[in-house]
Structure 1
Amino acid sequence: MNGYANNKDQLLARLKRAEGQVRGIARMVEEDTYCIDVLTQVSAATKALEAVALSLLADHLSHCVAEASAQGGSVAEEKIREANEAIARLVRS
């Protein structure tokens, strides 16, 4: 079971809202909306996706990494490495 199983409905709802925001941004560009207004909506969509990413990361740490840490050894090392790489990707984006 994935760590986000208990939050799956919330995550899907957030993703659907972000999807709607992105469609709205495309519509704004099609309609030649003022640049700053489009950028404001891009920022909002970006924040929505970041919130999903942070929620997934928190679930991964509290579920997958915690379980692997209890097992110890190479399994724990691998999960910690994965988490570190995911955090690095989020920070770079």
Structure 2
Amino acid sequence: MSHTIRQKDKLIARVRRIKGQMEGIERALETGSACGEVLRQLASARGAMNGLTAEVMEDHLQEHVVNAQSEGERQSGGQEMVEVIRAYLK
């Protein structure tokens, strides 16, 4: 069973909080809130997204690299992580 399935409820709750933050940013822009407030909300949403990404990355490494059932799974999991990190850093 995938780590994202085991933690599905927790991860979905975090996504919903991020969604709420994004909706708050949209409302702030629509109502003409001060740019400082919009920037604070953007920074908060970015931090939440980075935290979620880090958690899923860590779980992936634990499940598919550190605790891999086979060398093939370890190599595949490691390669997936390299690709994700490259995309993340673009």
Which category describes the TM-score, using the shorter chain as reference length?
0.7 to 0.9
Q: Which residue number corresponds to residue 71 of structure 1?
A: 70
Could you report, residue by residue, the CA deviation over 1:32-88 in whole angstroms, capped at 9, with x for unpaired residues?
1111110110110111111111111111111122354x4114x43222111112123
Share of identical aligned residues, percent? 31
Between 1 and 2, higher relative CO (CA 8 Å, sep ≥ 6) is seen in 1
Specify every segment of 5 or more residues in structure 1 that has no aligned partner in the other structure, as ranges.
Answer: none
Question: TM-score if structure 2 supplies the norm length?
Answer: 0.86
1:39 and 2:33 correspond:
no
User: Moved runs in structure 1, 4+ residues, more than 6 A?
Assistant: none
Following the alignment from structure 2 to structure 1, what is the Cα–Cα distance between the partners of residues 62 and 76? 15
CA RMSD of aligned residues (A): 1.7
Return the letter of the residue paired with 1:87. Answer: I
Q: Which residue number corresponds to residue 26 of structure 2?
A: 26
Specify every segment of 5 or more residues in structure 2 that has no aligned partner in the other structure, as ranges.
Answer: none
